[in-house]
Amino acid sequence: MKFFNLIPLRVHCWGGLGSQLYALSTALDLKTKFPKRKIKLVLHTGGVTKRLSELDFIHNIDFELIQVNDFQMQDKEYKNQVKSYRIRVKGLLTKILYFFYFIVTANSNLEFNEIRPWTVSTRGHYFNREVTASFYPYLLKYLGLEKKPIKQHQFEIAIHYRMGDLLTLGTKSITPTSKIIGAIRQVKNNNFNITVYSDSPEIAKETLSSAGLTNEFVVRDLPTIDVIRACIGADYFIGTGSKVSLWIVNVRRYMGEASNNYLEGFDDKLYQKH
């Protein structure tokens, strides 16, 4: 088995910071599972939209981080040609690699447990795999939020309103504004500030105003990591259908803020303390 320790284990990831954090959590667990193996976290820019590495806030990471610039603007016809080519040339080889566990899709706890000492690559979204509790203090350390943020004098509502590529993708939908406004009305405090964090600030402002949000609010477009920091420290958080919103809620719950959150569609993914 010592021979396999010489072979790097690559954890491949596609997507933005939310996906990258799931991959990072998986890589750290693999480091624990195989302490003598070299782990490489491979972040791909390819996908529906171009996504760069957003893990720069983690210093002295204890394994190699690689960014692969494989993003290409592709039309439907080109995609079909590539798909057909890959099926003809690589289909059989890929099946063999998966069959013998050289490649594993570690998207769940069950699949993660299928990783063998000779596995050379994991691929997937890692979303259905339980995040190890030890990852939360690790993440908070690099966020600079090891202690509970000091509350402001005025009650602060933070809304993460992801739009961006959802405006053009037909496979995913944007959280209805009615649910966001409904969540605000559930807040049991009559004196609050509202800050909306969105990657499409002008559209978000117009959409919420047109939907009937009469309260004054400001919209900010910040780097994703700064959005996470700001929303973790809010008195009440409203998240929309994105992995980043889920990470914010789970970190807040880990820190003891279990009730002052609203999140659409991720009830089975919420962190539970044991």
Residues 51-85: pLDDT tens digits? 889 999 998 888 899 999 988 755 555 555 555 65
Any idea what DSSP says for residue 45? -
Q: Computed from CA positions of residues 207, 213, 216, 220, in that sequence, does the dihedral angle turn out positive or negative? A: negative
5 — pLDDT class (breaks 50, 70, 90): confident
pLDDT value at position 94? Answer: 87
CATH architecture designation of domain 144-269 = 3-Layer(aba) Sandwich (3.40)
* In the chain, where the domains are located: 2-132, 144-269
pLDDT value at position 34? Answer: 94
pLDDT value at position 11? Answer: 98
Residues 226-260: pLDDT tens digits? 999 999 999 999 998 889 999 999 999 999 998 99
pLDDT value at position 79? Answer: 53
Query: Count of alpha carbons within 13 Å of 265, Cβ hemisphere only?
Result: 13
pLDDT value at position 84? Answer: 64
Residues 162-177: pLDDT tens digits? 886 555 555 456 788 8
**Cβ neighbours of residue 130 under 8 Å, at least 6 residues apart?**
109
Our CA angle for 258, 108, 166, nearest 5°, is 70
Q: Which of 60 and 207 is assigned the larger pLDDT?
A: 207
- CA distance from start to end of the chain: 35
pLDDT value at position 80? Answer: 56
- The answer to whether residue 22 scores a pLDDT higher than 50 is yes
Cα 234 from Cα 228, distance rounded (Å)? 10
Among the ranges given (41-50, 130-139, 222-231), the one the predictor scored with the smallest mean pLDDT: 41-50
- The answer to whether residue 153 scores a pLDDT higher than 80 is no
pLDDT value at position 63? Answer: 86
Quote the percentage of the chain above a pLDDT of 70: 87
Amino acid present at 257:
E
Please give the mean pLDDT across all residues of the chain: 87
**Cβ neighbours of residue 122 under 8 Å, at least 6 residues apart?**
9, 10, 11, 12, 26, 30, 103, 104, 105, 106, 115
Residue 239 exposed, middle or buried by CB count within 10 Å (0-12, 13-18, 19+): buried
Quote the percentage of the chain above a pLDDT of 90: 64
pLDDT value at position 112? Answer: 97
Q: Which of 193 and 146 is assigned the larger pLDDT?
A: 193
Q: Which of 73 and 187 is assigned the larger pLDDT?
A: 187
- The answer to whether residue 265 scores a pLDDT higher than 80 is no
